[in-house]
Structure 1
Amino acid sequence: MKNNDKFEISILAKKRSWYELVLAAVFYGIFIYLLGIVIYVLYLGISFILFIKLMTAFVSVGGFCFIYGLTFSATRDIIINVTDSVIITRYVVGSFSYDVKSKVTEFEYVSFFQDKWGEYGTNLWYVKNRHYKMFSFESKEAAYQFCLDISNKLNIDILDATERGNFVWVEKENLK
């Protein structure tokens, strides 16, 4: 058995609730129904003008349904490989997944801030002014706890940027 010395931090998104999955199934069902109609009409051999009208409707309504199906069913997981300095973002829809890899030289700090919608976002900063947007939270405490966990695992500092123009470095020694 091999000794694996890789150190990875996995941040897995929560599972979708049942009503989000039902909505995604409805949107996917409409998309598949419209696709079936297009294939059936192509089989019948209709006029070119009717085909263009049908394709326009399919692209607009079918595209809407497919995008909202993805919105209600997709989850995003983050894997931070500390030994190889790679951030892997994994988008998952059902049993399908797609990985996006970002090469990082050195992690500097993690910050949390309040956006214009009142949510609290978290960023992982690296290489001077580059950052990786992680997750958004509804409460400041949840965003802070997430940043604290990441900070402890990566051994980096925390920046509280919730007040505009008044950024505060959080002292981890004084924490409970």
Structure 2
Amino acid sequence: MKSKGVLKIVSEKRAWYERILAAVFYAISVYVIYLFYLNNSVSFTEKYYIKSLKILANLIFVSGLGIRFSYVINHHFNFDVMKYRVYWSVGPFGFGKWKDINNLDRVSTFLNVREECEVNIWDVRNNRYKIAVFDEIDNAVIYGRDLAKNLEIKFLERN
């Protein structure tokens, strides 16, 4: 197994049409903010605050759609300190909490109840780290074998 360094596994890259949709929703959000402040002068009246809250509710919805189409899930393994985290990111912003891991034992693939093939990394205490999900079994097996080879651990293929 690798003894030094950080391994970053990107399990979900966004398709081109999802990135375009996200950009459209973010652009709509910025445009609505621009129009709101262009057409409404700032005041301390109840009417202004009601308008602001309505715009804010719509912005949360539209920005939420943008986030839905642009977030990416990464898996980080730090072998120097034996830690692991699932890192959710949207553009340059992200979050994830580091957890301790034991020595990694194997990479496995298997079919779940939705007929998707999962690729998992297991440690010596049988803790599972779900890395990726594939529609095609062959793609999952190829990915799992490459991952096991890079981590220098064994590969287990299951149905």
Same fold (TM over 0.5): yes
2:87/2:97 contact within 8 Å kept: yes
Does 1:158 pair with 2:155? yes
Runs of 4+ in 1 over 6 A off after TM superposition: none
Q: Which residue of 2 aligns with 1:11?
A: 9
Does 1:139 pair with 2:140? no
Does 1:76 pair with 2:70? no
1:110/1:124 contact within 8 Å kept: yes
Q: Number of matched residues?
A: 156
Separation of aligned partners in 2, 1:80 and 1:72: 25
Q: Which residue of 1 aligns with 2:100?
A: 103
Q: Which residue of 2 aligns with 1:168?
A: none
- Report how far residue 90 of structure 1 moved: 3.6
Q: Which residue of 2 aligns with 1:66?
A: 63
Higher relative contact order (CA 8 A, sep 6+): 2
TM-score by structure 2 length? 0.73
2:102/2:125 contact within 8 Å kept: no
Output the aligned Cα RMSD: 3.2
Q: Which residue of 2 aligns with 1:113?
A: 110
1:16/1:73 contact within 8 Å kept: yes
Identity %: 26
1:88/1:102 contact within 8 Å kept: yes
- Report how far residue 98 of structure 1 moved: 3.6
TM-score by structure 1 length? 0.67
